[in-house]
Structure 1
Amino acid sequence: MSMTFRHPTASLIVVGKPLRIGVLAFQGDVREHIVVLERLGAEVIKVRRPEELGSVDGLVIPGGESSVMDKLVRLFGLYEPLKAAIAAGLPVFGTCAGLIMLSRTVLDAMDDQKTLGGLDVDVRRNAFGTQVDSFETNLSIPEITSGKISATFIRAPIVERVGPDVKVLARLEDGRIVAVEQGNLLGISFHPEVNGDTRVHEYFLGRVATSLQPQES
């Protein structure tokens, strides 16, 4: 069954079979992402082992607790395979804790906390406070949609520095950065999987589909 996805530049591309998307499944909003991705027609697997990582076209790193996720990634022997996959160009989408995992530097990291890197950004964990300080707002993300996206922030990080090759996709009204992309990586501070809006996931699937297309010589 062929499937159509929207390329990030807004053109349409067609793939001949469902995209195989992994969700890093140690901790966090794993089920919620799976529901959205399957609704969009992707084949989804939970990734906990290197051999599972090697079978996917793209990967989602969900929100959760970044320090716990980091420990489990290392415990299960996925740290080096994940770094290698990112360096090799695997499309990866990190939400909230996933953004922290993809960042170059965590400004307020826990002792011994590591990141996978790939995004040349510095982030601050829990930049908005505790769980009770969670909030929703409407974001403008022109690269993804012409309309506003309802964004849910739950103990969310903020991007405080971006490198020269990082594209800022969205800011809050006060200017703080909450969505970025660089090469094969997409990182956001909020949780698009919790409110029924699938447009950010659609954008990611478009990036994955694009990565599978033959490159022009």
Structure 2
Amino acid sequence: MADTNEKKKLRIGVLALQGAFTEHQHLLHRLTEDVDSTVQVKTEAALLDPTLDALILPGGESTTMALIAERTGLMEPLRNWVKAGKPVWGTCAGMILLSNEAHKIKIGGQSLIGGLDVTVKRNAFGAQVDSFVGDLSVPALTEPERLFPGVFIRAPIIETVKPEKVQVLARVVKNAAPTSAEDGDIVAVRQGHILATAFHPELTSDERFHRYFIDMVREVQDQTKA
């Protein structure tokens, strides 16, 4: 007899318009006990697939992603996904897209998906040459005593949050970041069904943030069923 308590494996979409989407897929494919498959989301039809459990917005160039999403008719469906309370994770550029407000945007403006009650600052640490890896303390992860390797590439920071809604998961430690960083800059948050990181967990061999997202997806699904 089948174990009725066995967890259903997840099908996770990764927005594949531009950026580091395959890297997320490669890491998720290692989590075979929890992930059944991943899907490159490039169309509204792929996003609306009822078998899709969650969505990741990868790092890359947020302005380019937004322009492609608008041209392909994906921007409004992406906004509807977030408004519907479906699990979503934005890394770097994906975090910018999920924010309700962004500073230091390009001339001409920046279209946002929104839903995350934060204000972000783009390219907060400088240009590509200022990219760095800084160890982060993330108590919400498994093995919290083990620091997480935060890969920051032209990364944003979160300038303000609504504390009654947004949980801060990680902050920059100044001695592990460039001199442009301020000690305590917020670089990871969660708001209900939304996870956002300024750095790139998919560019490391550390699976803990992806496992955290999987646990979050299951938690949101359980709350939806209740």
TM-score by length of 1: 0.90
Q: 1:138 to 1:14 in 2, by over 3 A?
A: farther
CA distance in 2, matches of 1:96, 1:114: 15
Question: 1:108, 1:207 → 2: CA distance?
Answer: 31
Structure 2 residue identity aligned to 1:127: A
After superposing on structure 2, the runs of 4+ consecutive aligned residues of structure 1 that deviate more than 4 Å are 214-217
Which of 15, 37, 43 pairs up with 2:7? 15
Determine the C-alpha separation between the residues in 2 that align with 1:14 and 1:162.
37
Counterpart of 2:22 in structure 1: which amino acid?
A: R
Q: What do residues 167-213 of structure 1 show as CA deviations (whole Å, max 9, x unaligned)?
A: 11100120100001101100000011111111000100111122223
The whole-number CA distance in structure 2 between the counterparts of 1:189 and 1:162 is: 14
> Do residues 33 (structure 1) and 42 (structure 2) align?
no
Moved more, 183-192 or 145-154: 145-154
C-alpha distance 86-216 of structure 1, shift in aligned 2 (>3 A)? closer
SS at match of 1:33: helix
Q: Could you tell me how far apart the structure 2 residues matched to 1:71 and 1:83 are?
A: 14
- With a CA cutoff of 8 Å and minimum separation of 6, indicate the structure with the bigger relative contact order: 1
Larger Rg: 2
1:153 and 2:152 equivalent? yes
The TM-score, its normalising length taken from structure 2, stands at 0.87
Tell me how large the CA RMSD over aligned residues is: 1.6
Alignment partner of 1:178 out of 187, 192, 204: 187
Q: Percent identity?
A: 46
In 2, are the aligned partners of 1:126 and 1:157 still within 8 Å (CA)? Answer: yes
**Does the alignment pair 1:127 with 2:124?**
yes
1:15 is paired with a residue whose SS is coil
Distance 1:87 1:209 in 2: 18
Q: Aligned pair in 2 of structure 1 residues 44, 215: CA closer, same or farther (>3 Å)? A: closer
Which residue among 190, 193, 209 is the counterpart of 2:199? 190
The 1-side partners of 2:98 and 2:112 are apart by 6
Cα deviations by residue, 1:33-53 (Å, 9 ceiling, x for unpaired)? 000111112210000111111
Q: Which amino acid aligns with 2:120?
A: V
Aligned equivalents of 1:152, 1:14: Cα separation in 2: 34
Which residue pairs with 1:75 in the alignment?
71
User: Which of 48, 54, 57 is 1:58 aligned to?
Assistant: 54
User: Structure 2: how far apart are the matches of 1:85 and 1:206?
Assistant: 19
Q: Distance in 1 between matches of 2:136 and 2:41?
A: 30
Q: Is the 8 A contact 1:15 1:209 kept in 2?
A: no
Paired positions, count: 205
Q: Deviations over 1:78-129 (max 9, x none)?
A: 1111111101111001000000000010111221311100111110111001
* Counterpart-to-counterpart distance in 1, 2:155 and 2:17: 19
Q: Could you tell me which runs of 5 or more consecutive residues in structure 1 were left unpaired when the two chains were aligned.
A: 3-12
Structure 2, gaps ≥5 residues long: 174-182
1:105 match: 101
Distance (Å, rounded) in 2 between the aligned partners of 1:118 and 1:71: 19
Q: Counterpart of 1:101 in 2: which secondary structure?
A: helix
Counterpart code for 1:116: I
Q: What is the Cα deviation at residue 58 of structure 1?
A: 0.3
Q: 1:44 aligns with which of 38, 43, 55?
A: 38
1:94 aligned to 2:85?
no
Distance 1:14 1:87, change over 3 A: farther
- The C-alpha deviation readout for 1:2-39, integer Å capped at 9, x for no partner, is 9xxxxxxxxxx8523x2010000000001100001111
